[in-house]
Chain A
Amino acid sequence: MKVKLWGTRGSIPAPGPETIRYGGNTSCVGVTLSDGSMLALDAGTGIRCLGLAQPDEPARLHILLTHLHLDHIQGLVFFAPAFRPQTEIVIWGPASSEASLRDRIARYISAPLSPVEVRELPCDVSFRHCPESEWEIGSARIRSASVSHRGPTLGYRIDDGDSSLAYIPDHEPALGADLDELEEDWISGFALAKDASLLIHDGQYTDAEYPDHVGWGHSATSHALSFARRTGAERTVLFHHDPLHSDEQLDGLAVEAREQWVALGGDPATLELAAERAEYELPARAPSALV
């Protein structure tokens, strides 16, 4: 399984000279399974470049949405494969008692917010609510679970062979909870991340910023690290950077995070901050960074 980060930013795109290295595009992770199947985790603005990198040939692509906040769907109408008639796209996402996934996404892909409507997309697109039980896509088994965020929000676990990816980009597991004390089955998202080869997890706020953002649905650095430690993930990538955080600030945050990680007993080489275009290959049990 190969993983590539196409958008690492949270909330709103943050392009500019201050964010070149960590990136300004919002959430999107490309996953190439061992059988060649292609998944996109979320469709923030990062999915535009993922789409441009796809060959112009018949293909079946799966987009797994964690939730429908704009920073996770904004790139959908700029995803080049969606405008190719020979492409089949399956969009997975959280169910809601209020409306179908298609109808909720159509609120964005429709006038006046979008120049095209869902029905006008040339590709063969379908929408599916994530089932409660695991399901298969290509060579992978997929599992989703509701996680602590604002509104219906999922995290994902993708198992392909012996390697596993946990993707929980918007997550506040420490809201009203002590992650160091709670039993593991009472920790939001725990089962998704347990012993994952690679955990991509919300790390939007510094510990100093978090008190002003309690309940906003995101993690402070220390919360993300506690979650990673409890779950035993082999490698952790802090993701969904706050749009106000410059490369320079994120460099400093990376140093602080590694110090905290070491204090928790972690190996500093197993923790990093998400950087746009970073790639990971997840072989059997020991993932290694390519870039």
Chain B
Amino acid sequence: MSFVTQRPLELILARNLMSALSTPAFLVDEGGLLVFYNEAAGMLLGKRFEELGTVGPQEWGSLFGPFDESGEPIPYDELPLVRAVRAGRPAHAELTVRSTDGTQHEVEVSAFPILTAHGSQGAIAVFWPSLRNGNGAQPA
């Protein structure tokens, strides 16, 4: 018998779709583990997913922020992805992320859960440049 673990098909298909998008997109599994982000997200953060690899929720929060309007770190439990995967509901927020070179990006984040016949399998978050200041990037 094979004991190889397999990602749920819905996550596999989500990753395949995200790989083809030019919009930054992030994928977490049912436990909140960041399991993939696409090239566009890698450009935003300054680090490709292949360089970073799978990371736990606390770790990716400390790497890239995010921060609220006043510059305070947003608690992990309040991040749209976490709210989506835990509550099984969509979540939206405006926040700031910090790339590896220190550039800060104001973005709008829409996150939604991946619900299947077998329950929640994770969540997807898509980042959009914030319209608040006319563009999505500011120097650090």
Contact = CB atoms under 8 A, between A and B. Distances in A.
Interface of A: 95-97, 132, 134, 141, 143, 145-148, 152, 157, 159, 164, 175-177, 184-188, 190-192, 194-196
A191 B16 CA distance: 18
* Best-surrounded residue of A152, A186, A194 (most CB of chain B within 10 A): A186
Given A96-B117, A97-B117, A191-B6, A176 B19 contact: yes
B132 interface: no
Interface of B: 1-2, 4-10, 12-13, 15-17, 19-20, 117-118
A195 B2 contact: yes
Given A184-B4, A191-B4, 19 more contacts: A95-B117, A132-B118, A134-B1, A141-B1, A143-B2, A145-B9, A146-B10, A147-B9, A157-B1, A164-B1, A176-B16, A176-B20, A177-B12, A185-B5, A186-B15, A187-B12, A191-B2, A191-B6, A192-B6
21 contacts: A95-B117, A97-B117, A143-B1, A145-B6, A146-B10, A157-B1, A159-B1, A159-B2, A164-B1, A164-B2, A175-B13, A175-B16, A176-B17, A176-B20, A186-B12, A188-B9, A190-B4, A190-B6, A191-B4, A194-B2, A196-B2
Nearest to A166: B2
Contacts of A194: 2, 4
A192 B12 contact: no
A197 to B, nearest CB: 11
A87 B97 CA distance: 64
A97 B16 CA distance: 24
A227 to B, nearest CB: 13
Nearest to A129: B117
A229 B15 CA distance: 22
- Sorted nearest first, the 7 A-B pairs with minimum C-beta distance are A176-B16, A191-B6, A146-B9, A191-B4, A194-B2, A159-B1, A194-B4
A265 B15 CA distance: 29
B60 to A, nearest CB: 18
Contacts, number: 59
A95 B116 CA distance: 11
B2 A185 contact: no
A146 B9 CA distance: 6
Nearest to B11: A186
Contacts of B16: 175-177
Nearest to A187: B12
Contacts of A152: 117
A192 B117 CA distance: 20
A172 to B, nearest CB: 10
B2 A192 contact: yes
B121 to A, nearest CB: 11
A71 to B, nearest CB: 21
* Best-surrounded residue of A141, A176, A184 (most CB of chain B within 10 A): A176
B67 to A, nearest CB: 31
A156 to B, nearest CB: 12
B120 to A, nearest CB: 14
Contacts of A97: 117
B85 to A, nearest CB: 19
